[in-house]
Structures are given as C-alpha cells and as structure tokens.
Structure 1
C-alpha cells in the first residue's frame, strides 16, 4: 500500500506484508515499511506478527519471547563496547523475529540508510529457554499441519420460528465414521438441519466425519471429551474437558463451538459456572439409546414434541439412524421446520452458564 499515489515522488511511505510460515491454525507474516524522505533517502523497517485464523488473536512476534531474552538478543545485535554502561534495555526491542518450526529464532536487524539488513540465528537448543508461554503455544502450532479453512457451508434458509412451528433435532456422542454419514444423507435428502453435540474423543478419532457435518451446514456443540458426569468433577477438570473438546472440534472443522451439552444432562451450579458456554439440554428425550427400536422411539418423539422443542437422540446408534427417515418425514408432514439450535433460538441471546430446553414463547 503506497500512501503516495505517485511512487516516483518523495516523500512517500510504502507498506507491504507477506506470509512467512504457517502451521496448525497460526500464520506468521512480515510487515515491511519503506519510508522515503524529501531527499530521496529511505529507511526500511520490518516486523513480524502471528495471527490465529480461528480465534483472530494477533501477536507481535516479540511477544513470543520472554522479556529477559530481549536483552540477550539486543546484545548480540549491537554489542556494547567495553567500558560503556549502556543498558541493553534502552535499545529498541528486536521486531523482526521469525520462530522456525524446529524452534530456532531468526532475528533480522534494522535496514537504515547506511545499514544493510543482517540476520542472526539462535539455535533451537538456546532459543527454547527464550520463549514465552505464547511462544511455546505458537511453536506447537507450527509443528502441526496447517488447518485448511472450512469449505463454505450451504447457506441456511431463514426460518421465522415465531410464525411457523420449529423443532431442533440434536444428536449426541458422535461423530461416528459409519453412522454419521448415513444420517447426513437422510438430512440432506429431507432438506433438514440438525445439531451434533460431539465428544472430543470422537471428533479427534474421526476428524473427516466431523468436517462433513460442518461442511453440510449443521451446527456443532461441545459434549465434553470423555463423556463424564461433570457434577462429579472439579471445576478445573470440567474446564479441561471443555477445552480439549473445543480443540478437537477446531482442529477437525476449523471452527470452535459456542454451545455445549452436559453428558446425561448432569449440571449443577458449579458446572454451569465452569463450562463457559450455554447449556443446551432437551425438551424431548427420545430414549433411542435405551429402546434401540425405531418402532418405540419415533412415536414417542412425535407424541411429545411441541413447537420450539429440542429433541435428544444419538447418531452413534445404527437403530437411531434407521428411524430418522420416518421421524423426519412425519415431523415435516405435521408442518415442522427442522432447524439447528442457533436457528431455533434466533433472537434469543444464549448466555454462558444458562440452561435452555426449548425456544421461549414470544408475546
């Protein structure tokens, strides 16, 4: 971006940016600034940044280093002559720092009017102790394959659930590489949307299937990593279950989940405070996991469902999938629009720590 429309004129300022390295969900890029003065002399400075493509968090590369490491790097760039007590901390902090995937550091020196760019390389064996907590996290990302952005999901049709009866079909415990794709085919054929509350363990074991769910435009929720009774855990353990699952879903799909469902519906005040997301329970429990018989759970759902209701089922059971064609067709024949949980609650803020079972009636 040239701030002077005619680059042949001076003074001028030109900014450019280019990617340097990518891994996991993180991209490192270098920004260069060429500042040309009235006499035609110019200086060039550069700085590196990292950005997380999922969270949007932007960091200067210097933030990847421990504060005490900066003085050591300053001293290498401009050694202080013997007898001169000029604290390294008074010198500018290095700005162009590249953290390589092997853990080494490449530091580019200033490029002033009389100074050509230079570089010092700090080997990984020495650089590891220089990294901040943020630096170690970025290094871990650089050591994993880059996450491709998710394919554009089909645009969800707008449904006004104040005017037409809606229901949200939700499926727990997946994804399963065998049964979940079968369910996705049925949902696509019936033009129905749903919400999948995934366990982190299964999302990590079947990332391609999790990606299929996201690419089809369905909503995804956090169902903990190992499916424990959260009320029997400590707050720290609850948070760990949530964080590990968020990471698994993000790695598989490129996006994080804003919803959660506690296993067994077990939630108390501690759990509600620890999960950090809205808790989506249900208005209708199909008991598909118990009966394993479509002839029993399909009529149960059809009898108990009401407009705005959330229905609980499980996409890991073949018997559940076997009953979906009949269930979905019957609901649609009754006039129900089958939508995702976010669609169902459109216009109703879903607050972290609050429990939701059905769309509230509006007056």
Structure 2
C-alpha cells in the first residue's frame, strides 16, 4: 500500500520548530498513575503510585507487536524481566489470548470472521515497583469491541524471595480477607451506580472476587489503591471506581509479600534482584557519525528507510551495526515507553547520525483521542527522546498513519507517512521484506519498516547491499526533505 508522504510539507519543514512541553521526564510517565491523558488505563485519583525508571532494570526486554493496517489496528507490549519468567509467561498468555481473539473477531484481519472492522486493540504496560526482591507491572487494555467501555487493567506481581508469580489478591493475607473486603464494601456502598446487594454477591463469590480485584497497587505513601474497571462493581454508566485504603488501615491486613511490596514502593532499594541465574547484557553500538550528511538528493538517488516501534533489544543494536557498515542513515520513529526503557539505544542511534522521531507513547490511534490525550502522547515521548539524546524531535509518525486536523492542531511536530509499506509486521520473512523494498523502491521514497521484528532487521543488509550497488544513498527523512 502506498501512502503519499505529505509532499507539500517538504518545503515547510525547515520553518518548523518544536519545544517539548511536558510536566515530567521519562521516568514519570512510565510509572505515574497521574498521567490521565495517556489512554489506555484507569482514570487516576489523587493517590498516584510512585514512578519507576525502567532503564535501571538490568536485562529488561520489552516484547512488542503491532500492525500498520488501519482496518486491523493493534499494538501490544509487556516487559520481560530476568528472574520473573513465571510472571512474564502470565502476561504473554494474556496478551496472546486477547490478540488472537481480536484478530479472529475482526473481519478485516487476516483469518478474521467477525463483523468488526477498524476497532483498535491496544495493550500497554506500566511498572509499579521494581525494587529489592519484588516486581509489579500493570497491563492496561483498550478494546472497544469488548464489553463495557473497553478499558481494563490488571496488575501482575512477582515475589523474588519465593520465586513465585502472584496475583493482586496475594498482597492481602488470607486471614485478613474478611476485614479487607468489609472495608472495600464500606467505601463503595453509597457511591453512584453501586448496588449493595450485587456488590455483596460479587465480593462473596471467589471467582467473581478474583476477577474484580485484579488491579491493586500501593501509593507513594504506602496506601493500597484498588481500581475497579467500569461495570465491575457498579452499573457501567457509573464508570470506573477507585478505593484507596490508607497505610495505617491496610498494613495490618497485608501478607508478608504485600508488606515487602509496600516497603519497596515507599522506600525503593537501589537495585532489583529476583534471583535470576543469568542477566543478559546488551552491547550498545558505539558508532559515531563522521559529520553532517552532505548528500544532495537533487543530484543522486536517495531513499529514506524508517523504522517504527522501537527501540527493541537486541534488534535495534543489530540494526545500527548494519547501517554503520554501509554508512547509511535512517529515521527511527520511537515509542515513548520503549525509549524510557532503553534510552541508551536511542542515544546510540542519534550519535551514529540517524534521526529520532516520535511515534507516540504507546501506539494508540491518535484520531480517536481528545486533543489533550494527543498532546500527552506526543509530548511525553518527545520529552523522553530529549532526555535520551539532548535534542527534541521535529517529526512524528502517527500510528497506523492515522492523522486528522485535530491531531495536526495538537502539535508542532511535522507528520511523516510513507511511500512504500513493506508489510513486515504481517510477513515475518526476511527475504520477502528485502525483495519488497528492492523490487518496488523508487527514488526519494520513504520506506516503512519495524525494528521490533528480527526478520525485518535481518532483511536490512540485503537491502543496503543491493541498493547501494544501484547507486542509492540512505538518508534521514529531514535530510531528504531539506535537499529536494
């Protein structure tokens, strides 16, 4: 599929400038429940959780997947932390199940038989605590094809001391469950949309109770915040509900694990040790650009390779090595939550003469968001990029290529689409991806690829080798625009 890359904006890019307007650095958005404008996720209350800097987690890998098909849009991510394999497996199972259901029910997705089309699935992650011997992660899901509002969240917990995965109810001691549930009922009864009898039935039944008590985390001051999805304990019209129990109230009811989570949330240790027998170390390329690119795209054949959704471990590092070998430059449209996890890879890409662009915080369809949500998605990501590289981006690629006047008006970043879609997200075949570019590329094309897929990265050497032999020069999007 060819999408015109907004040619009229080529001459205007030089007049555009951008100043990041963000209230927090990259550490804040990744762990703060106060970022209400970043869908998906529950509506926050005045009791935010403490922020976590994911770049400090040794061996962290973000497992991402996405499509660029506006008829079958999805983006998913979850963290893989050494030592927490059982917890990673639980998140993987959930994500793969939701994605399989989404694809099977969408008529526009390959193999889909349902009637929905163009409805977006988005699953993003947030670290709640990563300290001492405990790890906590919230997965937030946006799936309008489901029941209720389509927004839901689940917290996953890992106990490094016991070497065990825990669900949210495991934060509370078994012999204190009655007192804990009684306190929840007291704080929920009387709220708009909550039926007391139905609430008692829900919290009395073990299966129903486990389903609704799946999102619990400690606040920065040690209180326990319990979030209920819309319709969990009240009529859907009442919206999502939150109960926060103070530290003084909840501490006597906590399990031994819950008390360690509380302590590590309030006073985090300097390191995380989950008992992993091996923590992989990611080598970060040290290639440095020799100077400004002096390629004149009016005189020679140019092509702009662009890579979306990263940075990814180890794929982005491998890709940077391929590019440096051919003295090729590219543009990376990065996802903010991945930039926060791997700022060293973003710095390495910029140091090697590549351009870093903005691809939103967690890859939602921006055209479905309010102006404030669009601003949050883009500004948080720009702030993370600037923190990593020292330079704010000037370009953004809207997820799925979906952009409208409201999105354009919400930012001074210049939108970039593409001419050649390799569909590498669909075809995980390195040779097919390489042949698509080699056979279809034209002079001055902007080519869409993804550095989260090993097969796409593996296709790059063949692309670089063949097109270099044909006289092509590999430049950034901004350089291509500036020299045409």
1:230 to 354, 359, 366: 366
**Secondary structure in structure 2 of the residue aligned to 1:250:** helix
**Secondary structure in structure 2 of the residue aligned to 1:257:** coil
1:177 paired to 2:313? yes
Trace 1:1-363 onto structure 2 (pairs within 5 A).
153-347=289-483
CA distance in 2 between partners of 1:152 and 1:206 (Å): 18
CA distance in 1 between partners of 2:289 and 2:409 (Å): 32
Q: How many aligned positions are there?
A: 201
Q: CA deviation at 1:177?
A: 2.7
Contact residue 207 and residue 252 of structure 1 kept, 8 A: yes
TM-score (norm 2): 0.40
CA distance in 2 between partners of 1:296 and 1:322 (Å): 11
CA distance in 2 between partners of 1:306 and 1:152 (Å): 29
Distance 1:153-1:302 versus aligned 2 partners, 3 A rule? closer
Q: CA deviation at 1:193?
A: 0.6
Contact residue 335 and residue 360 of structure 2 kept, 8 A: yes
**Secondary structure in structure 2 of the residue aligned to 1:311:** strand
Deviations 1:139-179 (A, max 9, x none): xxxxxxxxxxxx98531330110111100000000111311
Range 295-304 or range 164-173, more displaced: 295-304
1:42 maps to none
RMSD: 2.0
Extract unaligned runs of 5+ from structure 1: 1-23, 25-150, 348-358
CA distance in 1 between partners of 2:349 and 2:312 (Å): 11
Contact residue 175 and residue 209 of structure 1 kept, 8 A: yes
CA distance in 2 between partners of 1:152 and 1:338 (Å): 16
CA distance in 1 between partners of 2:480 and 2:439 (Å): 20
**Secondary structure in structure 2 of the residue aligned to 1:156:** coil
Contact residue 288 and residue 352 of structure 2 kept, 8 A: no
1:38 maps to none
CA distance in 2 between partners of 1:157 and 1:276 (Å): 25
Q: CA deviation at 1:276?
A: 1.8
1:88 maps to none
**Secondary structure in structure 2 of the residue aligned to 1:196:** strand
Contact residue 154 and residue 215 of structure 1 kept, 8 A: no
Contact residue 167 and residue 336 of structure 1 kept, 8 A: yes
2:124 maps to none
**Secondary structure in structure 2 of the residue aligned to 1:252:** helix
Distance 1:155-1:244 versus aligned 2 partners, 3 A rule? same
Range 174-183 or range 294-303, more displaced: 294-303
CA distance in 1 between partners of 2:290 and 2:380 (Å): 28
Moved over 4 A (4+): none
Deviations 1:36-71 (A, max 9, x none): xxxxxxxxxxxxxxxxxxxxxxxxxxxxxxxxxxxx
TM-score (norm 1): 0.53
Greater Rg by CA: 1
CA distance in 1 between partners of 2:293 and 2:404 (Å): 35
**Secondary structure in structure 2 of the residue aligned to 1:282:** coil
Deviations 1:178-221 (A, max 9, x none): 11010000000111110100011100010111111111111010
- Where relative contact order (Cα < 8 A, 6+ residues apart) is larger, the structure is 2
Deviations 1:302-333 (A, max 9, x none): 22211111000001111111111001111111
CA distance in 2 between partners of 1:179 and 1:319 (Å): 9
Contact residue 315 and residue 457 of structure 2 kept, 8 A: yes
**Secondary structure in structure 2 of the residue aligned to 1:289:** coil
CA distance in 2 between partners of 1:187 and 1:175 (Å): 15
Deviations 1:263-283 (A, max 9, x none): 110111111221321111000
CA distance in 1 between partners of 2:459 and 2:474 (Å): 16
